[in-house]
Amino acid sequence: MYNRLIMSDVARIKILPEAVASAIAAGEVIERPASVVKELVENALDAGATRIAIEIDQAGTARIAVQDNGHGIHSDDVVLAVERYATSKLQSPADLFNIRTLGFRGEALSSIAAVSRLELITRSHDEARGTHLKVEGGEILDKGSIGSPPGTHVTIRDLFFNVPARRKFIKSERTERRRINQVVHRFALANPQVAFSLSQEGRQSFESSGSGDMREILARVFDLELAREMIELPVSDGGEYQIHGFVSPPHLNRSNRQEITFFVNGRWIQDAGLKAAVLQAYHTLLMVGRYPITVLSLKLPPDQVDVNVHPAKAEVRFQAPQKIFSLLQRAVRATLLGQAAPPRVNFQDRWQGLTSEDSHDWQ
Ligand code: ADP
Ligand code: MG
């Protein structure tokens, strides 16, 4: 059974051996402010945080700050944390096939530090004082001891100040803010037991209580009506593959596929096969050109899914994709048919106006 690994102790950071580093699907992970937010929140979640506060100024170009109450970084490891391929999450090449954390490549902090002014304040639970580190464009400027609550507070200022070319690729502030909202929404949907708060330009734009109630998150990400009407998949049987989550009833739909959301072992991913399986499950229930809203979470043994195939870790490779697709299709279909509103018309009316093709679905 899969359980995300949250390290209860402060795991120590090591530089990955060459063999592991070269097996990593490395890439430019930091494309835009939202990628910084994603990487910093992943680190907070991997550290077991139950409260994560995110603050954004000028759509993340001026300041991105993420504060967590996770296990913190040991004072001796703080400098290592911003080095390339330095991670506490992988020990050997074999671990790459049994990933239980969101991060594992040890390159996010170093990539971010290389293109910004980074300030890190962290205190591990087993130390009395915190550590403070300042890095600019990859160069360590200052390190010292500082009073701090347990946990980690990372502040990124002036993103891409030294890479004007990258700055040019940043879209309008509005677009970047929307992307940041979207990233935080996904984390909240995948982690209802964690309290998130996001404030953009000094105004709170998202908040979740961490109560574990998925309908609360659905209401905050979408709206109250949708949260009320989304249909929950029945609890799965505890088999090797588990699917749970929420699907929209056919009358609540969208004109695009963007709200068909998947998480695999707690990680938001995109997958054409999973999407097709969901669309198949809605077949004949939705008009052509209309798409459902889904928040579906798949849990499978970590060795059944390769998460090291995409630079931004936004895609995975399943060992038995067909099995997963058909399981998903059947689970969603059964949920939708089981919840179909009881016919309000008499039996005869019910069959009127249906083509023979539609009628299959009423059996
Ligand atoms: P990765 O997450 O792939 O290990 P990162 O560059 O994101 O690589 O982080 C490097 C290391 O720094 C992590 O392995 C972890 O030990 C430590 N770290 C980073 N952020 C945090 C945090 N918020 N809380 C605790 N430890 C952290
Ligand atoms: Mg990371």
- How many Cβ atoms from other residues are within 10 Å of residue 183's Cβ? 21
Q: Given the CA of residue 102, which atom of ligand 1 is nearest to it?
A: 2
pLDDT of residue 353: 37
DSSP-assigned letter for residue 47: T
Quick one: which atom of ligand 1 is closest to the CA of 81?
12
* CA–centroid distance, residue 307 to ligand 2 (Å): 14
Name all residues whose Cβ lies below 6 A of ligand 1.
13, 39, 43-44, 47, 68, 70-73, 81, 86-89, 103-110, 152
What's the pLDDT at 156?
A: 98
SS3 of residue 299 by DSSP = strand
Q: What is the pLDDT of residues 80-129, one digit of tens each?
A: 999 887 888 887 777 777 888 888 888 899 999 999 999 999 999 999 99
* Ligand 1 geometric centre to CA of 73 (Å): 8
> Could you give the dihedral angle defined by the CA atoms of residues 20, 35, 6 and 105, in that order, rounded to the nearest 10 degrees?
10
Of the bound ligands, which one is closest to the alpha carbon of residue 66?
Answer: 1
Which parts of the chain are beta strand (E)?
14-15, 51-57, 63-68, 86-87, 117-123, 130-136, 139-146, 151-157, 195-200, 203-207, 231-232, 242-247, 260-264, 267-269, 294-299, 305-306, 317-318
| Cα 348 to ligand 2 centroid, rounded to whole Å | 60
Residue 21: pLDDT band with limits 50, 70, 90 = low
Nearest C-alpha to atom 2 of ligand 1 is from which residue? Answer: 103
Q: 60: pLDDT confidence band, cut at 50, 70 and 90?
A: very high
pLDDT of 342 higher than 50: no
pLDDT of residue 22: 57
Ligand 2 centroid to Cα of residue 103, in Å, is 4
Atom 13 of ligand 1 has which residue's CA nearest to it?
87
Q: Which atom of ligand 1 is nearest to the CA of 104?
A: 3
pLDDT band at 313 (very low <50, low <70, confident <90, very high): confident
Residues 124-180 have pLDDT tens digits of 999 999 999 999 999 999 999 999 999 999 999 999 999 888 888 888 999 999 999
Ligand 1 mutation target, pool 46, 54, 66, 124, most atoms within 8 A of CB: 46
Say which ligand is closest to the CA of 44: 1
Would you say residue 273 has pLDDT above 70? yes
Helices (H) and strands (E) in the chain, counts: 12, 17
pLDDT digits (tens, 9 = 90+) for 167-211: 888 889 999 999 999 999 999 999 999 999 999 999 999 999 999
Closest residue CA from atom 16 of ligand 1? 88
Q: What is the pLDDT of residues 224-247, one digit of tens each?
A: 999 999 999 987 776 888 999 999
Nearest ligand 1 atom to alpha carbon 42? 2
Nearest protein CA to atom 8 of ligand 1, as residue: 106
Q: With CA atoms as reference, report the closest residue to 34 among 179, 178, 165, 167.
A: 179
Residue located nearest, by CA, to atom 7 of ligand 1: 108
23 or 170, which is more confident: 170
Could you tell me the pLDDT band of residue 345, with boundaries at 50, 70 and 90? very low
For 170, the enclosing helix (H) or strand (E) is none
pLDDT on residue 66: 98
pTM: 0.87
pLDDT at 23 over 70: no
- Please tell me the distance between residue 81's alpha carbon and the centre of ligand 1 in angstroms: 6
Question: Of the ligands numbered here, which is closest to the C-alpha atom of 85?
Answer: 1
Backbone phi and psi for residue 45, each to the nearest 5 degrees, phi listed first: -65, -40
According to the model, what pLDDT value does residue 346 have?
A: 39
Distance from the CA of 140 to the center of ligand 2, in angstroms? Answer: 19
Residue 344 has pLDDT above 60, yes or no: no
What pLDDT digit, counting tens, does each position of 285-305 carry?
999 999 999 999 999 998 888
How large is the average pLDDT for residues 299-323? 86
pLDDT at 7: 58
